[in-house]
Structure formats: C-alpha cells, structure tokens
C-alpha cells in the first residue's frame, strides 16, 4: 500500500509539474511582443497606403510642398509653348506650349524661321516639357498640348479647340496685342532658375527693356530671390501653373489648385496678384477658362515662338523671332529649362534681338502695357 501511495503521490506531483509548465508556456506566448502589434502594423500600413493612393489620386501632379531644388527644376526643359511657327500671326495658329519635359521629346524640330503656315489652326505641338519637381508624376500630356489635348475631353463632351476658345472668348484669351502702335512684348516662360533667368535679367537690364515672366510655382518657391529680382527690376510676372501640367487633362478642381497655389507663392514674394495666366503648352479647356474669367484672370499665349526650348543656337532663335515679329506680337522665349536643356542660344541672341527690334522702330513693352491693362488682378 505504501508503495502504491507513494506511486500515486509521485504521479500527482508529475501531473502538477507538467500542468504548471503548460501554463507557463501559454503565458509566454501571450506575451510575445510582436503578435498583435504585427497585425496592427499591417493594418495600419494598409490604411496608410490607401491614404497615399487617395492623395495621389487627388493631387496627381502637385509636387510635394517642399521646395524643389533648382537643379531639379532645371532639368525641366523650358516648357515649351505652343509650337507655333510664328510669323505673322495669323490668329489661327495657336500656340502650343511645349514644356520641357525631359520625358517627352519634342516633335520634329522646327527650323528657325519658318514661314508662317497659314493654316495651322491650333497646332500646338508641344515640345519640350517642363520637368517637374520630383514628386511629379510624369505627365503624359506634355506632348499633347496640341490639338489633341485641346480637343480631348476630360469627361464627356467634346471640347473646343484653342482657336475656338479664342474666338468665343476674345477678351479673355489673347495671343497678341493691338497692331496700332509699334509694340512687341518679350515673354519668358518656365523660370525662375539660377542659371538662365539671371542671365536674361542681365541682358534686359543692360538695354533697359522690361519684359514679362511667366513663372512656375515650384520653381518660384525654390528661387525666391530671383522672383524678387524680376519684380524689382520692373518686369511683370504671370502665373504659369505650379508644376507645368497639361491643363486640359486635369479636373477643374486640380487646375484651380495649380493656379491658386502659384498665386499665393508669387503674391507673397512680389506683393501683388498676377492677372495673367499662361497655360503650359498654351493648353486649356473651356471649363478652366471660364473659371479663370470668373476669377479675373486673363489667359495670354503668344503668336511668335522662338522655339528656343529646342536648344537652338542664337542665330536660329533670332531668325524665329525677327522673321515673324510684327506690331502687337507676343514673343515666346524661356528663362529656364529642364534637365540638360540648353538655353544659351536664347541668352546669346537676346542682345541682337533687342537691338534689331528697336532699330526697326519697335517699342519693347510688358504684357500689361501691350494690352493696356493692369499687371495685377
Ligand atoms: Zn511653359
């Protein structure tokens, strides 16, 4: 019996020990540090990703608010505007603004002085695109600024071409000024940067000529001193979007963000709200134009295109401008470019262009002077 008792006692103790260890193990498991947390983490990651996706969907093209280094900006070739051959200026031609975007390569180079092609109603070919700040998604649209873009619909119905929009809203969408009085306006897009814009300013200062600069918001943020210099030296500043998207491809709400964000940046630096908008590639749709009109903006494209964004040499840039200059002309050049884009042709050509235009009796004026309007809203 005793032996049996001892056996039972030993067995009981063994069970107790075994049971006790089991509990211990469970406790260990429950206290594992990464179990539940991991799950939570995964959930939060999923949520975060969703948010990111939504943000991207909402603001596809806006670069982060953070300043974009100039270099990045530089990479972007000058946004090109409408490729229009310039010359006479038939109203038909619509400017297309090319941007300098690294990605999109331009179309066939346009030789410098190209004779005006009478019938090119809205041909905007876009050329170069602006490079956007890194955060910017690629824009597929740059190239499209031309007809296609214009006609594309963002939603439903077919849209009016740029020529049709100009015809429908003649007071709010301009390509040139009055031919009365021998005036022309030099305009420089896609700046500011620290490489070419200061050189353009130096030349203008030397000749005491005032011009109009259509600035890109993110570049203005990155180069505030250059923006201030432009204004301080008597030039007029206009809004060229925040990061050079192809407007017709954007919902009107995003278009508004592009304009308003840039207005805020510029007005803080120069003390007034620019009245003029030059759409990247010269492209805009009717809904966006109506918003601009309602908000007291004037859309200003150009009718003489230097095509300088193509990296043309000084001789070609001069020919593209001088062969097509006329009273009331709005001349397009660039004061900043994209990656690898060389605007030295524009810098070198500028003195000669100014001298020749003045020798021919033209007065070089700003857009508000040419259109007899205010520079601010
Ligand atoms: Zn541009």
Q: For 59-90, what is each residue's pLDDT tens digit? A: 334 444 333 333 333 334 444 444 433 433 33
Average pLDDT over residues 162-177: 95
The radius of gyration of the chain from alpha carbons, rounded to an integer in Å, stands at 30
Residue 13 belongs to some domain of the structure: no
Decide if pLDDT at 240 tops 80.
yes
Distance 326 CA to ligand 1 centre (A): 23
Decide if pLDDT at 350 tops 60.
yes
| pLDDT at residue 334, as a whole number | 97
Q: Which residue has the higher pLDDT, 208 or 119?
A: 208
| pLDDT at residue 4, as a whole number | 60
Distance 309 CA to ligand 1 centre (A): 10
Q: How many domains does the chain have?
A: 1
Average pLDDT over residues 330-336: 98
Query: In the structure, what pLDDT confidence band is assigned to residue 230 with cuts at 50, 70 and 90?
Result: very high
Decide if pLDDT at 14 tops 70.
no
pTM: 0.66
Query: In the structure, what pLDDT confidence band is assigned to residue 110 with cuts at 50, 70 and 90?
Result: very low
Residue 136 belongs to some domain of the structure: yes
Residue 16 belongs to some domain of the structure: no
| pLDDT at residue 20, as a whole number | 45
| pLDDT at residue 5, as a whole number | 59
Distance 55 CA to ligand 1 centre (A): 25
Decide if pLDDT at 343 tops 80.
yes
Distance 207 CA to ligand 1 centre (A): 25
Cα gap 77→72, rounded to integer Å: 10
Nearest to 190 by CA among 337, 298, 307, 303: 337
Question: Quick one: CA dihedral 166, 171, 177, 181, positive or negative?
Answer: positive
Phi and psi angles of residue 246, each rounded to the nearest 5 degrees, phi first: -90, 100
Decide if pLDDT at 56 tops 70.
no
Query: In the structure, what pLDDT confidence band is assigned to residue 338 with cuts at 50, 70 and 90?
Result: confident
Give residue 279's domain range: 71-108+120-371
Other C-beta atoms closer than 10 Å to the C-beta of 295 total: 14
Residue 2 belongs to some domain of the structure: no
Distance 311 CA to ligand 1 centre (A): 15
Residue 22 belongs to some domain of the structure: no
Average pLDDT over residues 262-277: 98
Active site residues: 189, 334
| pLDDT at residue 205, as a whole number | 98
Decide if pLDDT at 174 tops 70.
yes
Alpha carbon 351 to chain centroid, angstroms: 28
Residue 28 belongs to some domain of the structure: no
Distance 12 CA to ligand 1 centre (A): 88
Distance 143 CA to ligand 1 centre (A): 12
Decide if pLDDT at 24 tops 70.
no
Residue 114 belongs to some domain of the structure: no
Distance 208 CA to ligand 1 centre (A): 25
In Å, what is the CA distance from 279 to each residue of 183, 223, 349, 352? 23, 21, 25, 28
Mean of the per-residue pLDDT values for the chain? 73
Distance 14 CA to ligand 1 centre (A): 85
Residue 152 belongs to some domain of the structure: yes
Q: Which residue has the higher pLDDT, 157 or 277?
A: 277
| pLDDT at residue 339, as a whole number | 80
Assign residue 223 the CATH number of its domain: 3.20.20.370
């Amino acid at each position: 019996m005793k032996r049996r008792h001892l056996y039972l006692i030993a067995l009981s103790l063994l069970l107790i020990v075994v049971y006790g260890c089991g509990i211990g193990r469970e406790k260990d498991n429950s206290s594992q540090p990464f179990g539940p947390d991991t799950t939570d983490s995964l959930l939060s990651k999923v949520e975060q990703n969703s948010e990111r996706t939504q943000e991207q969907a909402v603001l596809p093209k806006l670069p982060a608010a953070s300043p974009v280094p100039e270099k990045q900006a530089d990479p972007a070739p000058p946004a090109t505007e409408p490729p229009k051959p310039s010359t006479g200026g038939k109203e038909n031609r619509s400017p297309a603004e090319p941007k300098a975007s690294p990605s999109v390569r331009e179309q066939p180079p346009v030789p410098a002085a190209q004779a005006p092609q009478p019938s090119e109603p809205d041909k905007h070919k876009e050329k170069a695109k602006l490079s956007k700040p890194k955060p910017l998604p690629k824009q597929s649209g740059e190239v499209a600024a031309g007809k296609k873009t214009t006609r594309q619909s963002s939603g439903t119905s077919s849209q009016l071409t740029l020529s049709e929009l100009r015809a429908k809203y003649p007071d709010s969408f301009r390509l040139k000024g009055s031919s009365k009085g021998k005036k022309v306006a030099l305009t420089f897009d896609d700046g500011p940067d620290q490489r070419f814009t200061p050189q353009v300013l130096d030349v203008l200062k030397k000749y005491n000529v005032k011009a109009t600069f259509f600035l890109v918001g993110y570049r203005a943020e990155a180069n505030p001193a250059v923006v201030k210099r432009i204004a301080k030296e008597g030039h007029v500043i206009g809004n060229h979007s925040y990061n050079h998207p192809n407007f017709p491809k954007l919902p009107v709400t995003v278009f508004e963000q592009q304009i308003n964000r840039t207005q805020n940046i510029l007005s803080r630096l120069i003390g007034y709200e620019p009245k003029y908008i030059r759409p990247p590639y010269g492209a805009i749709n009717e809904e966006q134009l109506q918003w601009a009109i309602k908000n007291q903006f004037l859309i200003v494209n150009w009718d003489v295109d230097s095509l300088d964004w193509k990296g043309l040499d000084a001789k070609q840039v001069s020919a593209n401008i001088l062969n097509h200059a006329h009273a009331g002309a709005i001349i397009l050049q660039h004061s900043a470019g994209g990656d690898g884009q060389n605007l030295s042709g524009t810098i070198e050509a500028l003195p000669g262009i100014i001298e020749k235009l003045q020798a021919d009796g033209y007065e070089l004026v700003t857009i508000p002077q040419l259109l007899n309007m205010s520079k601010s809203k």
